[in-house]
């Protein structure tokens, strides 16, 4: 009997997801063929099929991975941070670093478009989005308790609007070639900082 | 020779665009067949084909119509409004009214997804986006001159961030079933109002 090496299996899966992610970012999900993914991954169709039965299964796995990464990011945050507002603003900086990576942002847009057609992709993206909004709302609650932000704001609603701004960054990248995330990162901090600040306070 | 009645032609085109827009909103652009569009428009395939040679031509026309509507909205604004900031905030209210229309917002998401695949759709959406950002930047310049907003903000950059927020509203609708545009409209005003306000001013 052939032995299955789980680590080797995992590495192969990673290799396919990275190759496919590059293809989707470069040529779009629909235009990419499985033959192109095989070539990019250096793998036969039979071998690819062993890991992922279809191109849809690959984008579903990519969306799930993104969800897991978001969950891990927020799970790793200190339960009682000294400066919860800065933890929120630092997360925005991280988003802008990802947005600056053209391959990442193109893939994110392809995944977002696929949420309209593929319910499995939609469920993963929505789950990651919920992790992010819950994580942000928890931080905003702590920031309000420490007097860092306007206590009149509803933390859940404010987290939703921060999520809207983050979505909007990726739409800007799709539509406006002049939008440079590296240059705009301080503005995202500013928009969110001013929104959250107690009225009457400078920002 | 058969006479062509331009008004009748225009009405037929409208009828097809409305029927197709409803189908795309309900079932998604890719899942909709031309047969379904014909049935919804009460028209034979030959007749439909006379107006639009393909399903792509229909979504291209819908995207162009949206661009023209945006251009017309901003062209109709007074050149020297007494309260330019309120003109900006009222535009946000209009966006939220459109966002509350489930058929409109689903179609907007389908068109946005198509920008990744169809360069004609992408060009129209980008042109409409430019009209909106230019219109907002002009209003922000006037609002700054009247001392209504922080003069330190760059009007073009601020308009880009308002555009990001508007894009984000539609992403929220795709991902978060609890996001209610009618209830959230005052929050969009608040986020933008606080962002634009002079530091140290209440909001």
**By the CB < 8 Å criterion, does B109 face chain A?**
yes
Lowest mean pLDDT among A2-16, A172-186, B45-59, B104-118: A2-16
**By the CB < 8 Å criterion, does A162 face chain B?**
no
Q: Could you tell me which of B201, B77, B90, B81 has the C-alpha nearest to residue B142?
A: B81
Domain termination residue (choose one: B53, B71, B88): B53
Residue B202 lies in a domain: no
Residues of B whose CB is below 8 A from A184: 157, 160-161
Q: Do A116 and B126 touch (CB under 8 A)?
A: no
Are B43 and B67 in the same domain?
A: no
Q: Which residues touch A61 (CB under 8 Å, ≥6 apart)?
A: A13, A17, A52
Q: What is the Cα gyration radius of chain A?
A: 20
Are B16 and B104 in the same domain?
A: no
Residue A151 has pLDDT above 90, yes or no: yes
**By the CB < 8 Å criterion, does A191 face chain B?**
yes
**By the CB < 8 Å criterion, does A152 face chain B?**
no
Pick from A109, A194, A195: CB nearest B116: A109
Measured CA to CA, the distance from residue B92 to residue B194 in angstroms comes to 14
Residue A202 has pLDDT above 60, yes or no: no
**What does residue B46 show for φ and ψ, rounded to 5 degrees?**
-65, -40
Are B8 and B103 in the same domain?
A: no
Residue A201 lies in a domain: no
Instruction: Give chain A's domain count.
Output: 2
Residue A130 lies in a domain: yes
Residue A156 lies in a domain: yes
How crowded is residue A102: how many other Cβ atoms within 10 Å of its Cβ?
12
> Which residues of chain B fall below pLDDT 50?
203
Class of residue B3 by CB neighbours under 10 A (exposed 0-12, middle 13-18, buried 19+)? exposed
| Whether B166 contacts B96, CB under 8 Å | no
| Whether B124 contacts B66, CB under 8 Å | yes
Residue B180 lies in a domain: yes
Pick from B109, B125, B191: CB nearest A195: B191
**What does residue B2 show for φ and ψ, rounded to 5 degrees?**
-75, 135
What is the nearest CA distance from B48 to chain A, expressed in angstroms?
Answer: 26
Residue A203 lies in a domain: no
Q: Do B179 and A172 touch (CB under 8 A)?
A: no
Residue with structure tokens 């992610």?
A: A21
| Whether A88 contacts A136, CB under 8 Å | yes
Residues of A whose CB is below 8 A from B129: 175-176
Are A170 and A119 in the same domain?
A: yes
**By the CB < 8 Å criterion, does B71 face chain A?**
no
Confidence of residue A17 (pLDDT cuts 50, 70, 90): very high
Measured CA to CA, the distance from residue B34 to residue B29 in angstroms comes to 10
Are A68 and A38 in the same domain?
A: no
**By the CB < 8 Å criterion, does B119 face chain A?**
no
Give the CATH number, domain containing residue B112: 1.10.357.10
Measured CA to CA, the distance from residue A116 to residue A92 in angstroms comes to 26
Q: Could you tell me which of A7, A39, A46, A47 has the C-alpha nearest to residue A20?
A: A39
pLDDT at A161: 97
Are B175 and B98 in the same domain?
A: yes
Q: Could you tell me which of B81, B92, B83 has the C-alpha nearest to residue B189?
A: B92
Q: Do B194 and A190 touch (CB under 8 A)?
A: no
pLDDT at B1: 55
Are B45 and B74 in the same domain?
A: no
Residue A202 lies in a domain: no
Q: Could you tell me which of B63, B182, B202, B196 has the C-alpha nearest to residue B136?
A: B196
Pick from A112, A115, A176: CB nearest B129: A176
Please give the structure tokens belonging to residue A43: 């793998």
Please give the structure tokens belonging to residue B139: 């209003």
Are B69 and B43 in the same domain?
A: no
Domain limits for position A139 = 62-196
Confidence of residue A203 (pLDDT cuts 50, 70, 90): very low
Residue B96 lies in a domain: yes
Q: Do B163 and A184 touch (CB under 8 A)?
A: no
Report which secondary-structure segment, H or E, holds B133.
Answer: helix B119-145
Class of residue B113 by CB neighbours under 10 A (exposed 0-12, middle 13-18, buried 19+)? buried
pLDDT, one tens digit per residue, over B23-42 is 999 999 999 999 999 999 99
What is the nearest CA distance from A149 to chain B, expressed in angstroms?
Answer: 13
Cα B137 to chain centroid distance, Å, stands at 17
Q: Which residues touch B118 (CB under 8 Å, ≥6 apart)?
A: B56, B59, B60
pLDDT at A140: 98
User: Which stretches of chain A are DSSP H helices?
Assistant: 6-27, 34-41, 45-51, 55-75, 84-100, 102-114, 119-145, 155-175, 181-196
Average pLDDT for A36-65:
95
Are B70 and B148 in the same domain?
A: yes
Residues of A whose CB is below 8 A from B200: 200-202
Measured CA to CA, the distance from residue A157 to residue B180 in angstroms comes to 11
**What does residue B151 show for φ and ψ, rounded to 5 degrees?**
-70, -10
Give the CATH number, domain containing residue A33: 1.10.10.60
Are B128 and B175 in the same domain?
A: yes
Confidence of residue A4 (pLDDT cuts 50, 70, 90): confident
Are B10 and B98 in the same domain?
A: no
Residue A200 has pLDDT above 80, yes or no: no
pLDDT at B172: 95
What is the nearest CA distance from B80 to chain A, expressed in angstroms?
Answer: 27
pLDDT at B6: 86
Are B113 and B167 in the same domain?
A: yes
pLDDT, one tens digit per residue, over A53-111 is 999 999 999 999 999 999 999 999 999 999 999 999 999 999 999 999 999 999 999 99
């Amino acid at each position: 009997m052939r032995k299955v090496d789980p680590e080797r299996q995992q590495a192969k899966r990673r290799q396919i997801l990275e190759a496919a992610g590059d293809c989707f970012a470069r040529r779009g999900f629909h235009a990419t063929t499985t033959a192109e993914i095989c070539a990019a991954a250096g793998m036969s169709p039979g071998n690819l099929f062993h890991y992922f039965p279809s191109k849809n299964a690959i984008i579903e796995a990519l969306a799930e991975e993104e969800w897991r990464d978001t969950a891990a990011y927020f799970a790793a945050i200190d339960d009682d941070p000294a400066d919860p507002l800065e933890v929120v603003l630092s997360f925005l900086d991280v988003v802008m670093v990802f947005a600056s990576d053209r391959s990442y942002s193109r893939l994110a847009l392809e995944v977002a478009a696929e949420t309209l057609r593929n319910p499995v992709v939609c469920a993963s993206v929505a789950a990651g989005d919920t992790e992010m909004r819950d994580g942000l709302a928890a931080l905003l609650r702590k920031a309000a308790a420490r007097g860092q932000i306007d206590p009149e704001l509803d933390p859940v609603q404010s987290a939703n609007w921060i999520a809207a701004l983050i979505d909007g960054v990726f739409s800007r990248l799709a539509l406006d070639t002049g939008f440079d995330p590296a240059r705009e990162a301080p503005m995202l901090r500013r928009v969110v900082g001013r929104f959250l600040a107690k009225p009457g306070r400078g920002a």
